[in-house]
Every structure is written in structure tokens, then in C-alpha cells.
Amino acid sequence: MRTVIFTAQNRLSILHSGREYFPALIEAINAARIEIYFETYIFSLDEIGTAVRDALKRASSRGVAVHVTTDWLGTGHILGKILEDSLKVDGVECRTFNPWFVRGIARTHRKLCIVDGDVAFVGGINIISDFRNDYKDNRVLPAPRWDFAVRVQGPLVAHIHHEMQTEWERINPLHLISRIILRRETRSIQDRVVGKPGLAGFVVRDNLHNRRTIQRSYQRALGVARKSVFIANPYFAPARKFRQALAHAVDRGVEVTILLGVGEFWMQDAVAQSFYPRMLRKGVKLYEYRKTQLHAKVAVIDDIWATIGSSNVDGISLFINHEANVVARDAAFARDLRAHIEAAIAESVEIRLEDFANRPWYKRLWYGFAFIVYRCLLRVVTLGDYT
């Protein structure tokens, strides 16, 4: 397993929600001269998706080599075919990740774009309007979805570019010799840390040699935390080692605050709530964001370490799906992201131990049952790796 590759002198810009992300993305696509690699889990054809699709089509018509990858489950079989047919008319190359689950249950949950090897976008934002729910029949949200991406310029872009090229090649069937060569080429990138300003790394999770890279990057940061931990995530179901890292941080006197999204999947809510009593008794501060859909996967530790990406803190993201995060060791970037998290916490509902204890006994029983089912399923599909 490769550790995080850190480079310095990167310029990192936080993009809060689609309101900031989509204009920046389309501007970069419109300026493309050579090539574009684009990956997403959901590619809706609403007003936002149509605008992004048309920008990709225009780029291809200008002679730019455009490569688009969508997930067969996330985008949907029918919608994905419509999108692919439309893009191919203008010469865009399209690939679908794991159609009909022919390569197991893993999905590509990554949201990435790289343009001309100069600028990259990494985050949790799908190609869908901020006002439309990802899953519930595109139901209109009461407020814009709370989510983030990061625009990257600098040396780190080369690593993101290499990873996206590698994933593009992996998606199509390869002969055994080709897979061995590809694996060696991927391993050939050496870890390096250069200087201090703009220090950032690109971490991915897959089912080859990066099986636990994202979880371990979290655990290392939690292991050296001294003051504060802020985590915001919509799907919270950490395995034992992640929970232990949080508990050890609290034992050292670190203030741990977790902001959770609720109301999207009833089963996921129940699993997350099964952790509430233990975390609250430990001293973890818990908040539920109920204003709108919280979809961000972000964290800040000690105002120096921060991450933005596609990976949830649950078994599906950390042990099954393909994911991608940017991890930064940059104080200005961390403070900026923390300010966003704290603003959301101010609009959230704090969960206290006494409030949880007053919930009906059958609800608390249901939370425990949901966790047992979830844990058993994850241990089966990960062959016992969910620890």
C-alpha cells in the first residue's frame, strides 16, 4: 500500500457548493486546449448537467481529447446511455464503471476533473443541481446542498493526472500482462515531501494497492491531534480502528466535534445513531445538520491538517468503493475550511446524551439492530476487512 504523496507549492482553492464549483469547472473546460479527464458518480441531465455536458462537447469539437467516466449505478443505466450517445456525437470518449456489477459490488464514487494537466478539481460534488436531492426522485431541497470541492494548481496536479489516466485504462478489460505493467507503473511514483507552503497530497482508495490509504491518512492525523478535530460527513459508520482513533484523541484532551447529515437514508441514519451513546459518553460533540442535504466529506484537525474529497466515513467508502481525497497540511486552507464547518454547526442541532436517552426504547433498539446488520453485511462483502 502506498502512503500519501505530498508535494509543496500547490495553490488550493475551496469551492463551497455547486454555486462556486460549477462555474469554475465550466470555465476550466471552456479554456481547455489539449485534454480533459472527467470522472463522476452521478451525472444528471438537469440544467447543471446539461451545461457541463455541453461544455465537454464544445471542448471535444475544438480538438480537445475528452475522456468521461461515469458510474453505472450512480448515473443509472438508461441516463448513462443517453449521456454517452450525446457526448459521442461530438467525439467525446466515454467509459462506464462496472456495468451490471461484472467486477463485483465496488463503485467509482470519485468526483474528479483535470484539464490540460494544469488544473484539477477534487471533491464530493456530483453533477446535479444544488437544489435537487441526489436519490429521492430529484426532489427539490429546501436550501442548496452543503458540499465542497477543491481546485488544485501546482505539482500535485501531476499525481492526480497520473491516477486518472491509470483509472481510465483499468476500466476496460486488460490482459494479465497489461495489468502487471500498469501496476508497476503506478507503484513507480515515489513519495516525496518538498518544502512547506501549499503542502498537499492526493489519496485514493481502490481494491488493488490502496485498500486502506484514506482510512490510514485519517488515523495518522487523529493519532497526532493535540487540540481539535472537526469532521463533517453524511454517512457515518466508522469501523473499530477509526472509532478507536477518535476515542484516543478524546482521551488526550482533544476536542472532537462531528457534524452529520440526516434524513436521506433511514437505514444509514439508524446505523449512525447507534454510535451516539458511546461517542457522547466519551465526550464527543455531535451535531445534526437538518437545514438541507449535507453531502460534504471534509475534516480539519488542529487547524493544520484538512481533507476534502468523495470518501464518507463508513464501510462502503473506506473498504469497498473507489474514492479520492485531497489532504492538505496548510494552515490557511485548514482555517478556511474550519470556518465553513463552524458556520454549518451554528445552523445545526446539538445532540446531547440526555436527549438521546429520552428517545423511545424501541427506537434505540432499532439503532442497535441496524448496526449489527450493517456490520455483518460489511464483514461478509469485505471478507472480514471491515475492522
- With b meaning 16 or more CB within 10 Å and e meaning fewer, what string describes 233-251? bbbbbbbeebbebbbebbe
Active-site annotation holder among 297, 314, 330, 340:
297
- Known catalytic membership, residue 159: no
Residue 3's pLDDT is 64
- Known catalytic membership, residue 116: yes
Q: Which CATH class is domain 204-381?
A: alpha beta
Active-site annotation holder among 295, 314, 330, 340:
295
- With b meaning 16 or more CB within 10 Å and e meaning fewer, what string describes 294-323? bbbbbbbbbbbbbbbbbbbbbbbbbbbbbb
Residue 355's pLDDT is 87
Active-site annotation holder among 16, 67, 109, 340:
109
pTM: 0.93
- Known catalytic membership, residue 90: no
Task: Give 10-residue mean pLDDT values along the chain (387 residues).
Answer: 80 98 98 98 97 98 98 96 98 97 95 98 98 82 97 97 94 56 47 64 91 94 97 95 96 98 91 95 96 97 97 96 97 97 98 92 94 93 85
Active-site annotation holder among 16, 67, 111, 322:
111
Residue 134's pLDDT is 83
- Known catalytic membership, residue 291: no
- Known catalytic membership, residue 136: no
Distance CA 88, CA 344 (A): 41
Residue 136's pLDDT is 64
Cell of 262: 440526516
Active-site annotation holder among 116, 118, 336, 385:
116
Phi, psi of 97 (to 5 degrees): -85, 125
Residue 242's pLDDT is 95
Q: Which CATH class is domain 12-150?
A: alpha beta
- Known catalytic membership, residue 297: yes
Where along the chain do its domains lie?
Answer: 12-150, 204-381
Residue 283's pLDDT is 95
Residue 184's pLDDT is 52
Residue 193's pLDDT is 47
Residue 248's pLDDT is 97
Active-site annotation holder among 54, 90, 118, 302:
302
Residue 357's pLDDT is 87
